[in-house]
Structure 1
Amino acid sequence: MIEKVLCMVAVHKPYLLGHAEIASLYGVERQTSQKWKTDGTLAEPDLVISGNPYWLLSTVLQLSADGSREATEQRLAEYEASIPGGYQADPEEQLPVIVGIMEVAKILGQDKQAISRWRHRKQIAASDYELSGSPLWLMETVLADATARGRAVAQVEVERLREGGRGFQKPRGRRSTSPEARPRQRPLPHARTFTSEQSGEAASFLAAVLEQGHSVVIRPQRQKS
């Protein structure tokens, strides 16, 4: 009964794309979209949800501006048809709060595994988006579902998200470091051997090596008679 009531509510949501949707829109591999982001061809994401980047359709279509990439009318129509109730939002307008599993877990005081189980058992509202393999909800969908099911909500987390609070974006790929940027490592000191009569010199050598951040291995040897 809860699912039927929630499904009757018309959901109005902005067109949103992850790397998979961008790749499909332009007829390229997903890695190409990720490369566009890395080299700056693709603008910074409009939203970061559960650590993943997402872009508004208006932002993504700027990739066609120089004529070297084309989102055909057919692919654009197919994308729009995949987002029922979608609309093209302007980056400057106030967007609804959109959340992923990480944010939903915090709102409902659960862990991510619990939210995934609820999804599998249909014990939480169906997601408003399925983008790049991840479920996303309008926060209002989650709150309405929690009210209908009598679940407690962490109001502090809700207010934080409404004020624009977000987590960090997950790192993607390896960052290359130029040789000039790498800190130069000091060469390791040569192994030394000291006799019992050289205890003072040995102590000075040991202190100098430790000060440079190295560890020391001492191997006692019998003196030859």
Structure 2
Amino acid sequence: MHGLKPYLVGHQEFAALYRVEPQMIGQWLAPSRRILDPATAIVVSGVRYWPLGFATRFGTTTARFRQVDVRVTEHLTAEQGKGWMADLGDELPAIVGQQEVMELFHLPSQGTLATRIAAGTFPKEDWLLSGSRLWLLETVIEAVPALRATARSLPWEVDETVAATLRSGTYSGPGSVVLTRGRHARKSL
């Protein structure tokens, strides 16, 4: 592994790269248009994210060439800190959001995690993309001793089976799929 986190984008950042509204990304993903293949994204807590390398190359792969905004690319890399430019989802380390964290520790409610995050006693997110916090799985696991030290009643025990499926890319628990909304929802059933 690279030892650094990969650069990622969510819907809002992807849209900014091409100077379009965030809703356009959904339109590009729509089955009727299929400009952007959903398989190019990873799914974390039910939301799609793309490696920045793929996102910046995307405009050259479409029938109608789209110019990427280099300033946005520079801003995103600066904002995300020291990292590396991944191109494919299978190059990425295990990345988790709140739903995966809840499953990893079998937390009783999302409020338990939200309280920890708000109090600053949960590790700082590795990414804040499109309004969502994401962490490297290893960032969360390395924080277990500190979580236990400040816990009143929760054991903060890592479910090693969940951790293994997250690492191998075979996780199928809560947050592993995007819930389709809108007019295409019935077609996906």
Q: TM-score range by the shorter chain?
A: 0.7 to 0.9
Look at both structures and tell me which one has the larger radius of gyration over its CA atoms.
Answer: 1
Q: Is the 1:43–1:59 contact (alpha carbons within 8 Å) kept by the matching residues of 2?
A: no
Q: Distance in 1 between matches of 2:186 and 2:45?
A: 27
Superposed CA offset, 1:123-157 (max 9, x none): 10011001111100000000011133333211121
Instruction: Determine helix, strand or coil for the equivalent of 1:143.
Output: helix
Q: CA RMSD in A?
A: 2.1
- AA in 2 matched with 1:42: L
Instruction: Determine helix, strand or coil for the equivalent of 1:22.
Output: helix
Q: Which residue of 2 aligns with 1:173?
A: 182
Relative CO higher for 1 or 2, CA cutoff 8 Å, sep ≥ 6?
Answer: 2
Instruction: Determine helix, strand or coil for the equivalent of 1:60.
Output: helix
2:22 matched to 1:25? no
Superposed CA offset, 1:16-45 (max 9, x none): 111111111111101111111112212324
1:1-225 residue pairs with structure 2 within 5 A? 12-38=4-30, 39-44=33-38, 45-65=40-60, 66=62, 68-91=65-88, 94-110=91-107, 111-150=109-148, 151-164=156-169, 165-166=171-172, 167-175=176-184
Distance 1:43 1:57, change over 3 A: farther
* Structure 1 residue 161, shift from structure 2 partner: 1.2
TM-score normalized by structure 2?
0.80
* Structure 1 residue 88, shift from structure 2 partner: 0.4
User: Where in structure 2 are there 5+ consecutive unaligned residues?
Assistant: 149-155
- AA in 2 matched with 1:40: R
User: Would you say how many aligned residue pairs link Structure 1 and Structure 2?
Assistant: 168
Q: Distance in 2 between matches of 1:50 and 1:176?
A: 18
Superposed CA offset, 1:156-211 (max 9, x none): 21112122113221213222879xxxxxxxxxxxxxxxxxxxxxxxxxxxxxxxxx
User: Where in structure 1 are there 5+ consecutive unaligned residues?
Assistant: 1-10, 179-225
Percent of aligned pairs with the same amino acid: 31
